[in-house]
Amino acid sequence: MRLIDANTAENIIWKRSEETCDNYPKLSGALAAAIGLLDKCPTIDAVPVVRCEKCKYWKNDSIHIYGMCQNPNIGSVKMDTDFCSYGEKLN
């Protein structure tokens, strides 16, 4: 699965429609149908996450095989691609 900006996709389709549909009238209906399908797709309530490697609590040293989270609520060995609800971006 990949997240897309459906509004931008619709704008691109409408722009393409304006550029080409005068010459291809049937294409107008197909593009309108595509927009209708986009409108029916579920909206994902995605939230941004901070991966460990970009978190202020992350410490990568030679002692730990992966890295160490220095947040007192976590405090365990983590991989740099992990994330948690305590993650805070580096400044």
Q: Is residue 1 part of a domain?
A: no
User: What pTM value is reported for the model?
Assistant: 0.54
- Integer-rounded Cα Rg, in Å, for the chain is 22
pLDDT of residue 78: 78
Please indicate whether residue 21 or residue 80 has the higher confidence score (pLDDT): 80
pLDDT of residue 8: 93
Residue 36 belongs to what domain range? 6-40
Phi, psi of 23 (to 5 degrees): -85, -20
Phi, psi of 46 (to 5 degrees): -85, 145
* CB-neighbour burial class of residue 53 (10 A; exposed 0-12, middle 13-18, buried 19+): middle
Same domain, 11 and 34: yes
Same domain, 91 and 54: yes
The arithmetic mean of pLDDT across residues 54-78, rounded, is 83
Q: What is the pLDDT of residues 10-62, one digit of tens each?
A: 999 888 877 776 777 777 788 888 889 998 988 888 888 899 889 999 888 77
pLDDT of residue 89: 92
